Amino acid sequence: MTPTKHTPEQEQPSTSEAIRAAAFRLFGVHGFGGTSVRAIAKVAGIDPALVIRHFGSKEALFLETTPVADYFEGQFDGPLDTLGERIAAFVLGKADARMLSVYTALMRASDSPRIRERLREMTGTFATNLAARLDGEDAYTRALLVSAQVSGLLSVLSDESIPQSADRDELAKLYGRAMQTLIDQY
């Protein structure tokens, strides 16, 4: 059997894909402010003008390559009486270096109206999905406050205020109780 020959075009990612991959990596390591268009172009092996031609701006590229959608998909399922602890455990378990760098990059770049809007969308999506599970007229407000607690947890994890040696299960129980207070209708 004759092996299939690949053309160079088939083996090489498209320019847009190369830019996305370079940006994803660099934004994850250096954040929005610490990543230049020139650095992205250098890693992608292209001229810097092509970054702008393909994406319009560094900000647009950042928004496209910063994964934020569906992070909590499926996390609001299950019994309500343990939801706070499960959300806390999920954040503590899933908040790896990449997720924390994305969160930190978004927060640091939140002086940009478009990035600030992305953060609002994330908060709104979280609150809408959680509120759908809660009872009471104030369900959405309580869900927004739980979202704020999640943001706080991500903040202390991203700046490494919590020692790595801290027991994550104990942290999930402790922080989960605080969230559960808002989840429970009183």
What is the per-residue DSSP string for 147-181?
HHHHHHHHHHHHTT-S-TTS-HHHHHHHHHHHHHH
Instruction: Give me the pLDDT at residue 68, please.
Output: 65
Model pLDDT, residue 117: 85
pLDDT in tens, 1-13: 454 454 444 445 6
Query: Mean of the pLDDT values across residues 116-143?
Result: 90
Average pLDDT, the chain: 84
What is the pLDDT, as a whole number, of residue 8? 47
Contact call for residues 131 and 140 (beta carbons, < 8 A) = yes
Q: Which of 147, 120, 1, 8 is nearest to 63 (CA)?
A: 120
pLDDT in tens, 141-167: 999 999 999 989 988 887 778 887 888
Contacts 24+ apart (CB under 8 A), 149-157: 149/175, 149/178, 149/179, 149/182, 150/87, 150/91, 150/126, 150/179, 151/123, 153/88, 153/91, 153/92, 153/95, 154/91, 154/95, 154/99, 154/100, 154/103, 155/103, 155/107, 157/91, 157/92, 157/95, 157/100
**pLDDT score, position 65:** 84
List domains and CATH numbers for the chain. 13-65 (1.10.10.60), 80-183 (1.10.357)
At 34 the pLDDT is 86
The pLDDT value given to residue 96:
64
Count of Cβ atoms closer than 10 Å to residue 76 Cβ: 19
- pLDDT above 90 (res 185): no
**Model confidence, pTM:** 0.73
10-61 pLDDT, tens digit per residue, is 445 689 999 999 998 888 778 788 899 999 999 999 999 999 999 999 988 9
DSSP structural state of residue 57: S
What is the percentage of the chain residues whose pLDDT exceeds 70?
88
Cβ–Cβ under 8 Å, residues 49 and 70: no
Arithmetic mean of pLDDT, 89-98: 77
